[in-house]
Structure 1
Amino acid sequence: MTTTLAEQAVADFVQEWSTAEERGDHRALDDLLAKDFVGVGPRGFVRSREEWLARYSTGTVRNLSFAVSDLRIRCYGETAVVVAAQTQRSVNGDADASGAFRFTLVVVRQDGRLQLAGLHLSPNAAPAGA
């Protein structure tokens, strides 16, 4: 039995997570997020697992599109760090929440399955000199 996460398994997990985010599927996300999940938003706010799920269960956040690209996966035993790009067309309440972002995910194997332990978003600005 291997004790390392395979990159393909992590890539598949990220696809499952991004599909749940796009659909606003709080039930699927409930299964994917670790019990101690912490999410950091693009303006530095911190959300607990319950707050992250409530964005969708209350209908506050709605996504029209949510696409992930440029996955860079590094595996460390039972943990993987994923850096990728994301674009979304979304609303948060009445405000436009669309944008392009970079994110870092911390994916862990707990209780025999992959779970998302942490997420950090940053605005994806053009590189200097571009």
Structure 2
Amino acid sequence: MTELSAIVGELSRALRTAIVQGDADALDGLLTHDFVWIHANAEVDSKQSLVGSARAGALRHIEFEASDETARRYGDVLVHNGVASVQVQVDADLMRLANRFSIVWTLEDDGAWRITNWQSTSMRSN
């Protein structure tokens, strides 16, 4: 395993664990102040809205698996791509999602990698 693979594996596990556990504090620590997530349905979350949803328990992730993960590093920027298999619960509705994702991590001054941008694209055909 290369050093880059190890970094991406650790970051990916930390992100998925924070989301599935609804750990708002851990999620807060993984995101830059200007974080943006463009969801597969074109909705947009900021750091404040995503962490707020986690604190309120508004959206519950039952499962979040990642596969086909790759990464490229450009200095203090890491581009992380893969496939996400996600099961979420919104109110009484369970939904299973399959998305390709592209996540941009930046190495901050404190030595921590944080997400600045996350783009999801649905793998469902219309």
Aligned-pair identity (%): 25
Partner SS, residue 43 of structure 1: coil
Partner SS, residue 97 of structure 1: strand
Tell me, in whole angstroms, the C-alpha distance in 1 between the residues paired with 2:75 and 2:22.
30
Tell me, in whole angstroms, the C-alpha distance in 2 between the residues paired with 1:31 and 1:69.
23
The offset of 1:94, in angstroms, is 3.7
Tell me, in whole angstroms, the C-alpha distance in 2 between the residues paired with 1:42 and 1:95.
18
2:45 paired with 1:47: yes
Runs (5+) with no aligned partner, structure 2: none
The offset of 1:14, in angstroms, is 1.5
2:35 aligns to what? Answer: 37
The offset of 1:95, in angstroms, is 3.5
Q: Tell me the alpha carbon deviations over residues 14-52 of structure 1, each in whole angstroms, 9 at most, x when there is no partner.
A: 111111111111110011111110110111111111011
Q: Which amino acid aligns with 1:85?
A: V
Tell me, in whole angstroms, the C-alpha distance in 2 between the residues paired with 1:38 and 1:93.
24
State how many pairs are aligned.
122
Runs (5+) with no aligned partner, structure 1: none
Q: Which amino acid aligns with 1:101?
A: N
1:119 aligns to what? Answer: 118
Tell me, in whole angstroms, the C-alpha distance in 1 between the residues paired with 2:9 and 2:77.
13
Say what the alpha-carbon RMSD is for the aligned residues: 1.6
The offset of 1:62, in angstroms, is 0.6
**Pick from 102, 105, 115: which aligns with 1:104?**
102
Q: Tell me the alpha carbon deviations over residues 31-85 of structure 1, each in whole angstroms, 9 at most, x when there is no partner.
A: 1111110110111111111011122111110111111111010111100101101
Answer whether contact 1:10 1:107 (CA < 8 A) is retained: no
Partner SS, residue 70 of structure 2: strand
Tell me, in whole angstroms, the C-alpha distance in 2 between the residues paired with 1:72 and 1:125.
21
Q: Which amino acid aligns with 1:119?
A: W
* TM value normalised by structure 2: 0.88
Answer whether contact 2:4 2:71 (CA < 8 A) is retained: no
1:17 aligns to what? Answer: 15
Partner SS, residue 42 of structure 2: coil
2:69 aligns to what? Answer: 71
The offset of 1:107, in angstroms, is 0.6
Answer whether contact 1:81 1:104 (CA < 8 A) is retained: yes
